[in-house]
Amino acid sequence: MNITADAVKQLRERTGAGMMECKRALVETQGDLDAAAELMRKQGLAKADKKATRVAAEGVVVIEKSADSRTAAMVEINCETDFVAREQDFRAFAQAVAARALAARPPSLEALLAARLGGEGSETIEERRRSLVAKIGENISVRRFTVLSSPDQLGAYVHGTRIGALVVVTGGDASLAHDLAMHVAASNPRHLSTQDVPPEVVAKEREILTEQAQGEGKPPQIVAKMVEGRLRKSLSEITLTGQPFVKDPDVTIEKLLKGARAQVTAFERFEVGAGIEKKQDDFVAEVMAQVKGASPAPAPSPAVKH
């Protein structure tokens, strides 16, 4: 039976469930929206996914390496509170997802969620996630993953459980690769080198620096030199090769790599909750709103001085 995208969308809005589950329910109920919603409630899927509207900005970053340490998977698994992020079942789930990502190397997040955690007939990652949501009572999401490989060295580093980094290195040794991963975790470079910075980013930065320099009342020829100098400094701060090495700030990563006859070809950095807009509940405002909605309270008695 042909299930339309609009029908899937409507069911997702009603249940808050995932696209694949909605489509499966609609197929099973011959496209009947009400029957599909009821089926998902019976299966516990809709109940669990009502929590999907809540912000999951806590969680863990987990790295799983291959036996030869030349391939690694890094995943970010989110939950709502740091309490659950420390919970054993949640940690075990995150580790299992990382191990499956390493073994399967899926092409997309959707494919990872559909991957089975064991042999044929075992539950998928998405099914395990739903079970965990129903058990723990918090929204849990597999937010992102990456799998990187290196013919030589692969640096991997996890700071606590919240920041992880992978660095692909050609040349050098395992110690250098580890130090580079630790540097990426600490310094958060956005690009590998200045050549990798998008032209529109460079143009916008030059525009901002030009306005700043012009505001200082310098002659045009001086402004041009000031802008280029400041632009180089600005770009070095956001590129891996231009940053000072965290273990020796007198040496840039570029010089460190040259000295080791090594090169970084790729890197990834995950930080728990990065880019997620976490809702901040204003408890005082919430209480005041309730007070205003209630009947007026009696006026307080005048203070008695002692």
Domain-embedded: residue 179: no
What pLDDT, in 10s, does the model give residues 106-121?
A: 999 999 999 999 877 7
Total count of domains within the chain: 2
In a shared domain, residues 60 and 142? yes
In a shared domain, residues 44 and 63? no
| Window from 10-14, 251-255, 281-285 with minimum mean pLDDT | 281-285
What CATH code is carried by the domain that includes residue 37?
1.10.8.10
Q: Does residue 238 carry a pLDDT above 60?
A: yes
Domain-embedded: residue 84: yes
Domain-embedded: residue 181: no
Tell me the pLDDT band of 277, cut-offs 50, 70 and 90: low
Which residues constitute the domain of residue 62?
Answer: 54-149
Average pLDDT over residues 35-52: 64
Q: What is the pLDDT of residue 276?
A: 77
Tell me the pLDDT band of 298, cut-offs 50, 70 and 90: very low
Domain-embedded: residue 230: no
In a shared domain, residues 87 and 138? yes
Q: What is the pLDDT of residue 176?
A: 98
pTM of the model: 0.73
Q: Does residue 299 carry a pLDDT above 50?
A: no
Sheet holding 263-271, edge to edge: 153-159, 163-170, 263-271
In a shared domain, residues 65 and 120? yes
Average pLDDT over residues 197-223: 88
Query: Nearest Cα to 280, choosing from 57, 16, 42, 123?
Result: 57
User: Counting runs of H as helices and runs of E as strands, what totals does the chain give?
Assistant: 13, 8
Domain-embedded: residue 297: no
Q: Does residue 94 carry a pLDDT above 60?
A: yes
Angle among Cα 161, 268, 141 to the nearest 5 degrees reads: 50
What is the spatial distance between Cα 177 and Cα 224, in angstroms, rounded to a whole number? Answer: 39
Domain-embedded: residue 178: no
In a shared domain, residues 82 and 28? no
What CATH code is carried by the domain that includes residue 115?
3.30.479.20
SS3 130: helix
Domain-embedded: residue 19: yes
Domain-embedded: residue 239: no
Q: What is the mean pLDDT of the chain?
A: 86
